[in-house]
Amino acid sequence: MAAAPALASHPDSEALTCADRSVSATAVRTTQDVQAFVQCAREFLEEVGEDKAYDAFHNDTRWKSGPIYIFITELIPDGTQARSLVHAGRPERETTDPAMLGDRIDTFGTDIIAEGVRIIRTNGGGFSYYGFENYETGLVSPKVSYILPVSWRGIPAMLGAGIYLRDLPGTCRSEEVNAMELEADPSDERLQEFVRCAAMELESKGYFATIT
């Protein structure tokens, strides 16, 4: 059997493939991680089929951890008619009723479904930026998701996952980015997030801050 292809988006792509379980929801921190995660989720779906993938996407911590989860949405031009086929973050959104996707227009006026269709049709997949509720905090926050086309039970669809960006101007909420959170998760990404938010806080008070 041929070896699984390396993940070009990952900095350690020469050694890492989807067979390596380090590609998991618990390890997703950056946009590169999200891209690798979604690539592996699609490969997993193609390997095991819809039934096993559905169960794993909802119950296996490799595919679901806190705000990191898999979603699969029907891929049709009219976003008002698109159905949520898989939504591991909120399974109650999975329905044959398109009305359940009532939050497809985000706070910035972006039609999330239509934008996803455009990205799939234009580039065959890619990153989508929008505002969406973080189910862990209950707050609407900027989110970047990576999406790829799939077939789900014969239905053209887009599979994706995303991370919430907490260190943009106007989004550095103290309840999300603070010293206690950094102590609990002292990763490079969380440290950079903390420093960027601290710099923006200083600048908002009229001071000049640089990040080196």
Task: Kindly state whether residues 121 and 157 are assigned to the same domain.
Answer: yes
Q: Which range (21-25, 28-32, 164-168, 206-210) has the least confidence?
A: 206-210
SS3 142: strand
Task: Kindly state whether residues 102 and 57 are assigned to the same domain.
Answer: yes
Task: Kindly state whether residues 65 and 144 are assigned to the same domain.
Answer: yes
Are 159 and 41 in contact by the 8 Å Cβ rule? The answer is yes
pLDDT band for position 12 (cuts 50, 70, 90)? very low
Task: Kindly state whether residues 196 and 133 are assigned to the same domain.
Answer: no
Task: Kindly state whether residues 135 and 53 are assigned to the same domain.
Answer: yes
Are 150 and 159 in contact by the 8 Å Cβ rule? The answer is yes
Q: What percent of the chain has pLDDT over 90?
A: 40
Task: Kindly state whether residues 133 and 187 are assigned to the same domain.
Answer: no
pLDDT digits (tens, 9 = 90+) for 51-64: 999 999 999 999 99
Task: Kindly state whether residues 122 and 205 are assigned to the same domain.
Answer: no
- The tokens describing 203, both together, are 């600048």
Residue 103 lies in a domain: yes
Q: What is the DSSP letter of 17?
A: B
Pure H helices in the chain: 31-48, 50-59, 112-123, 179-184, 188-204
Task: Kindly state whether residues 141 and 208 are assigned to the same domain.
Answer: no
Task: Kindly state whether residues 95 and 143 are assigned to the same domain.
Answer: yes
Domain count, the chain: 2
Distance separating alpha carbons of residues 114 and 150, to the nearest angstrom: 16
Are 130 and 115 in contact by the 8 Å Cβ rule? The answer is yes
pLDDT digits (tens, 9 = 90+) for 152-185: 999 999 999 999 886 554 455 565 656 676 677 7
Mean pLDDT of the chain: 79
Amino acid of residue 164 = Y
Residue 44 lies in a domain: yes
Domain that holds residue 210: 167-212
List of E strands, 49-103? 71-74, 84-87
Task: Kindly state whether residues 33 and 128 are assigned to the same domain.
Answer: yes
